[in-house]
Structure 1
Amino acid sequence: MQQVDFLVIGTGIAGLTYAYKMASRYPDKKVLILTKADAEETNTKYAQGGVAVVRDWQNDSFEKHIEDTLIAGDGLCNEKVVEIVVKDGPERIQELIDLGANFDKEESGDYKLGKEGGHSESRIIHHKDITGWEMERTLLNAVAGMSNIEIINHCFVVDIITQHHLGYLVTKATPDIECYGVYALNQKTNDIETILAKTTYLATGGNGQVYRTTTNPAIATGDGVAMVYRAKGRIENMEFIQFHPTALYEPGLRGQAFLITEAVRGDGGILRNKKGEAFMARYDERKDLAPRDIVARAIDNEMKTEGTEHVWLDCRHMDQEKFIEHFPNIYEKCKSIGIDVSKDMIPVAPAAHYSCGGIKVDEWGQTSIKNLYAVGECSSTGLHGANRLASNSLLEAMVFAHRCFLHVSHKVDNNLLSEHPTRKLNIPAWNAMGTSTPKELILITQSLKELQQVMSDYVGIVRNNIRLERAIKRIDLLWEETEQLYKTSTLSPNILELRNLITVGYLIVKGAIFRKESRGLNYNTDYPYKSKLIQNIVL
């Protein structure tokens, strides 16, 4: 059993920003970071486009960024949170620059500002087409210099420890559910370790792997959301899954698809259908720079109408020297599969990209469980509403990491966190009695394929009630089979991820069933119009 002051789950921008700030403020206290893969393998790493932040004060303003965010969110944004994130953004990005992050600059020395769908002005600060990688690099370097931060790689968090593990009945109606720490599978020793902490901070990322094709890495299995749901914490708006309109189409691909950032369209790329028509004008006056939900549905409709598996992104007319400078990785990826962007159009199709819902938190990142915080894609702050505005996610992670840092610091400075209250509790060790190694891994791999197929076919960009009812029945069966396997098996990352993905799939479908309207990313042909407004759906 290990006890620490501050426990952080996840090494993306949300986790590392908070960990660095806590360790800097309290050099005598220990910050422990757990990650189930290598520290640099995160959703942050794969963010291409950049960070939306107001810097051009002549043409842009906080008011414009706020309005763009609210329009994209389709009536479900928390306006107070939107204002907080937009107005805190410049200071947070400057902190990262001060730590050594390199963003692209004009010859004048001003930062280059890109434009993406849904934005009325150019405000995307970026590092070529690997902005997330650059931010991740900067924060990992900063954290490496802190002697009171320990990172444990390949340590898979199994569950949050609450009163439930002390033998008490805990339900969603239980007042003051409290987090004492986590059980975690150390993949190097195969032991389940008990890690106790005064505060636990979840930065576990997204859940794109619940779909057959996603821009997310293999680690994006919704672990934080599933753990909090099992611990009877509040989850909201899981039905709002954003499909990125332009993932590179490669025949037969399952899993992670290569992302073609929206910034390519911001620089002039044009979507075309099988006939070569620039079709977006038929769907929205903003054409190729409409918000992502509109563009993804338009592409989906063109593909179904023409009977194709992709559309085309035309960059042939663009300045090729500038294209290679701004999008070197996209250029090289296309080149590697025989596509010359100066002569050939790029085949693209939508892929699962971002979860706008998640663990319900307040404006300080607090979950409904005491001493448990959640930030980044695993959380639902109210910023994104029914559809995330492009490049607002990295901004949200930085702002809310800082707000959690302020909130926890206040508690520490005012002695509002008792000195390891967990010492007074008889936290049991993990009990693995009666379990054995699964004899057939196909029981896990096939269930995962079934889940991804169900979610992709029935709970994708366009939904209807018959598909949703069929999906929930199949997910219920998968849940029963997997729970039985989980109870009788020694734990492994494979079975833990499957269990978490099934829970996430269930939450997405349940949210979609309860939302009897088409709004933002939840488009249901049985409810083609918005209702008066169904508020946040909390599960």
Structure 2
Amino acid sequence: MRRSADVVVIGSGAAGLSAALGLAATRNVLVVSAGSGSTPWAQGGIAAAYGDDDPLDHAHDTEIAGAGFCDPRTVRALVEEGPQRLAELIALGARFDRDSDGSLSRTLEGGHDRHRVVHAGGDASGAEVHRALHQAVQLAGVRTVTGRAVGLIKSGFGQIAGVLVEEDADVSQIDARAVVLATGGIGNAYLASTNPSTVRGDGIALALQAGASLVDMEFVQFHPTALFTGDSTGQLPLVTEAVRGEGAVLRDVAGRRIMTDVHPRADLAPRDIVARAIESTMRRDGCEHVWLDARSIPEDTIRRRFPTVLASCRRIGVDMLSEPIPVAPAEHFLCGGIRTNRDGATDVPGLYAVGEAAGGGVHGANRLASNSLLEGLVFGRRVATALTLDLPAASYGQPSWLTLGEDREPDRIRAILTEHAGIRRDGAGLQTALDELESAGDGPLATVARTVVAAAITREDSRGCHWRSDHPRTDERWNRHLVIRLDEEGRPAVRQLLQSAAT
């Protein structure tokens, strides 16, 4: 089957749906979806500074969490446009929690200096955001194809001209003047992640094959508090940072607090700091998890604010009302990605990226809590605006088909990346990973795994969520971004940029 559209959006999370909705009135847009991505699983909420909260304070917290590696102009777009995008989402019917006076309820999360995270259903924010956007896209009449994007079409003049989609056992072609990659991060490239299994780096691998650049792939964020279920593989339930925002504290096996002397904000330090502290504690004590003690939080608050966490704990036989929760870090979010400008354009004509798949510089070396849904709303709309104003002309010439390969032994790839490119890294382990991945095939998992390892072995310092035990300090000589493209043999080649991550 062959179809056509002005714009094809690959992915139906917050970023992809925001882009599609913004295009619906002016362009013939089609969404390709292999699942809803990570958006429905997001618990915390949307960070938004409005009223007596200055967006510049939100920007300051974002840049501190990002270890000074954020692009300031991109961050400013995020924090200044964010409240308007949130208001539009509410106008679409999104139901956020409110206080008794009718105002939006705002909570505190790690890295923020004040209560600015709005939430829905207590800890079901992502599900409500996805519901509202999905319903709006349906009402706007946007076409949707259920399937997995397995290739891009490139014209003889080097411009993206469409996408190949696997539907059931057949591959169909969709011609387009622009393709927007909103495929999420690389969670399933690790053994344990908070992401669903469909999030495995397909869009990033496709972009590389098309000739696009990646940036900052070494910055892989691990959420400090995934629920320890006894099975350390697959998608793990999240224990939202907002639980700590309401007063929960982390303790070691002996009941001692972990974060008291680690950071001035203690349990509400940025995620990279908390995750490293937990990993060090687990290594020191020889245990598989630590404890999150939420027993100081009133029972009615837990039932109202954290019904999802409460239910997840009960499924493994833990009552968070009366006993501590076993937690451990798990892969959560890619802070780099496909190199874009603030309007989502890559360095390949006709190819755009948005959301976690994109590396536009908003997160720097570590993402601030609850900036991800906000990023999807803000930059999804920016991509839509750019393509409304200036849609690329149709491109001709003999086309080429750029398709994803197959991964050999995907579980082995995940094990390699988990062992050598997790929270703690060193040069010897990263070199071992690079050697072992050489024979792993050319599928999306192997491709993204190689880019993470290549960037991590190149960066010989520690900052944000990239921690080298053999280079444990931040080195000013590495105040530069790492850009990756495929070489003639299809392997990642790293070069260093002095300028900002954004083009």
TM-score when normalising by structure 1: 0.87
Q: Give the superposition deviation at 1:162.
A: 1.6
Matching residue within 146, 151, 166 for 1:159:
151
- Partner Cα distance (1:132, 1:17) in 2: 14
Identity over aligned pairs, percent? 38
* Equivalent residue number for residue 245 of structure 2: 266
Q: Tell me if structure 2 keeps the 8 A contact 1:458–1:467.
A: yes
* Equivalent residue number for residue 497 of structure 2: none
Q: Tell me if structure 2 keeps the 8 A contact 1:192–1:430.
A: no
- Partner Cα distance (1:430, 1:193) in 2: 14
Q: Tell me if structure 1 keeps the 8 A contact 2:216–2:482.
A: yes
Correspondences of 1:221-370 after superposition (within 5 Å): 221-370=200-349
- Partner Cα distance (1:447, 1:345) in 2: 37
Q: Tell me if structure 1 keeps the 8 A contact 2:343–2:379.
A: yes
Matching residue within 37, 40, 43 for 1:42:
37
Correspondences of 1:187-226 after superposition (within 5 Å): 187=168, 190-226=169-205
Find out whether 1:97 has 2:98 as its counterpart: no
- Partner Cα distance (2:206, 2:231) in 1: 32
Matching residue within 437, 440, 448 for 2:410:
448
Matching residue within 139, 163, 169 for 1:145:
139
* Equivalent residue number for residue 503 of structure 1: 447
Find out whether 1:530 has 2:492 as its counterpart: no
Q: Tell me if structure 1 keeps the 8 A contact 2:152–2:401.
A: no
- Partner Cα distance (1:431, 1:523) in 2: 34
Q: Give the superposition deviation at 1:426.
A: 4.2
Find out whether 1:513 has 2:475 as its counterpart: no
Report SS of the residue matched to 2:428.
Answer: helix
* Equivalent residue number for residue 183 of structure 1: 164
Q: Tell me if structure 2 keeps the 8 A contact 1:515–1:534.
A: no
Unaligned runs of 5+ in 2: 485-503
For these two proteins, the number of residue pairs brought into alignment is 481
- Partner Cα distance (1:324, 1:368) in 2: 48
Q: Tell me if structure 1 keeps the 8 A contact 2:206–2:402.
A: no
* Equivalent residue number for residue 427 of structure 2: 465
Report SS of the residue matched to 1:316.
Answer: coil
Q: Give the superposition deviation at 1:184.
A: 1.7
Find out whether 1:116 has 2:109 as its counterpart: yes
- Tell me the amino acid that sits aligned with residue 101 of structure 1: A
Report the structure number with the largest CA radius of gyration: 1
- Partner Cα distance (2:466, 2:349) in 1: 31
Higher strand share: 2
Q: Give the superposition deviation at 1:430.
A: 9.3
User: Which stretch of the first structure deviates more once superposed, 176-185 or 292-301?
Assistant: 176-185
- Partner Cα distance (2:316, 2:470) in 1: 40
Q: Give the superposition deviation at 1:522.
A: 0.7
Q: Please list the CA deviations of residues 447-479 of structure 1 after superposition, one character each: whole Å capped at 9, or x if unmatched.
A: 111111111111110100000000000111112
- Tell me the amino acid that sits aligned with residue 20 of structure 1: L
* Equivalent residue number for residue 18 of structure 2: 17
Correspondences of 1:47-66 after superposition (within 5 Å): 47-55=42-50, 57-58=51-52, 60-66=53-59
Matching residue within 29, 32, 41 for 1:31:
29
Report SS of the residue matched to 1:221.
Answer: coil
Change (3 A) 1:535 1:428: closer
* Equivalent residue number for residue 495 of structure 1: none
Matching residue within 61, 72, 77 for 2:65:
72
* Equivalent residue number for residue 486 of structure 1: none
- Partner Cα distance (1:345, 1:88) in 2: 39
Find out whether 1:130 has 2:130 as its counterpart: no
- Partner Cα distance (1:246, 1:368) in 2: 36
Q: Tell me if structure 2 keeps the 8 A contact 1:194–1:430.
A: no
- Partner Cα distance (2:474, 2:298) in 1: 41
Q: Please list the CA deviations of residues 61-107 of structure 1 after superposition, one character each: whole Å capped at 9, or x if unmatched.
A: 11211110111111211011111110111001000000000000000
Correspondences of 1:352-501 after superposition (within 5 Å): 352-412=331-391, 417-418=392-393, 420-421=394-395, 424-427=396-399, 447-479=409-441, 483=442, 499-501=443-445
Please tell me the root mean square deviation across aligned C-alpha atoms, in Å: 1.8
Report SS of the residue matched to 1:523.
Answer: coil
Report SS of the residue matched to 2:457.
Answer: helix
Report SS of the residue matched to 1:478.
Answer: coil
- Partner Cα distance (1:269, 1:465) in 2: 36
Extract structure 1 runs of 4+ deviating beyond 2 A: 424-432
TM-score when normalising by structure 2: 0.93
